Amino acid sequence: MRRYGWIVILLVAVLGGGALVLLALDKPEQTTLEANVMSSDLDVPAIGFAQVADEYEWQFPQDFGPHPNYQREQWEIQSGEDCEFAFTVLFDRASFVAEAFAPQRESAWAMHSIMQGQFTFTDKQAEQNSATTLTSRVALGLAGADEQHVWLEDWAFNWTNGTLMAAGEDARLELTLTFGDEAIPAIKDGWYAYRITGEGNGQVQYGEQSQDVACPISLIHRFQ
């Protein structure tokens, strides 16, 4: 899968003043799923955020949801090897000010997090592929996560009803996901993470063609 980064300059008014917060991440080279934990570090202090240390006490289904006290969080849904299409949908939240230190601002545009999404799709038989990246502020309902789902504009993954939707310029994916009973937790490369497998059924539209999809999938949810 493709490691990627953000190139975002964020101006944040702190305590009514003109302090600037710079968030800049480079775009790394292609790498494997296991290494893609966005190892490019946020150039922002982690003051006030929870840290990865001892074993995490997982509680499901609560831990399907967001962990806003951590600075970075990702939900990644990926097709299995037996699927005739290869696809990955990733939602990636990055926070640059902990909620405890966030200034109180009345503007609806005020934010302290951004969300980036990536949707990659490959038709193995036709040897065609598509890749789309979206970025938005976690404000005004444009992006965010709650106890039921994570969303970015019209992309969404709802773990309570198992629905997933992502779309790019050339491809659109709509699936209903059914997960197994066992999540496999771990601490990997400085992230709390778990992996759970299941099945995905629905439709993919690529160009002017639409086709049914039924294949194994996996969800990797990680935060640090």
Instruction: Give the C-alpha separation, 188 to 51, whole Å.
Output: 13
Instruction: Give the C-alpha separation, 76 to 116, whole Å.
Output: 12
Report the range of poorest mean pLDDT among 69-83, 101-115, 132-146, 171-185.
101-115
Per-residue pLDDT band for 51 (boundaries 50, 70, 90) equals: very high
Per-residue pLDDT band for 106 (boundaries 50, 70, 90) equals: low
Kindly report the CATH number that applies to the domain delimited by 52-223: 2.40.370.10
Per-residue pLDDT for 13 more than 70?
Answer: no
Q: Which pLDDT belongs to residue 108? A: 65
Tally of CA atoms within 13 A in the half-sphere of 171 that contains its CB: 22
Per-residue pLDDT band for 96 (boundaries 50, 70, 90) equals: confident
* Average pLDDT, rounded, for the chain: 80
- More confident call, 158 vs 46: 158
Per-residue pLDDT for 147 more than 60?
Answer: yes
Q: Which pLDDT belongs to residue 73? A: 98
Per-residue pLDDT for 41 more than 50?
Answer: no
Q: Which pLDDT belongs to residue 37? A: 34
- What integer is the mean pLDDT of 34-49? 54
**pTM of the entire predicted model:** 0.78
C-alpha 25, offset from chain centre:
16
Assign residue 16 a region (left: φ > 0; alpha: ψ between -120 and 50; beta: otherwise). Answer: left
Q: Which pLDDT belongs to residue 45? A: 62
In three-state secondary structure terms, 100 is helix
Highest-pLDDT range among 50-54, 97-101, 132-136, 186-190? 132-136
Q: What sign for the dihedral angle of Cα 99, 91, 2, 78? A: positive
Q: Which pLDDT belongs to residue 16? A: 32
Q: Please say whether the beta carbons of 216 and 201 come within 8 A.
A: no
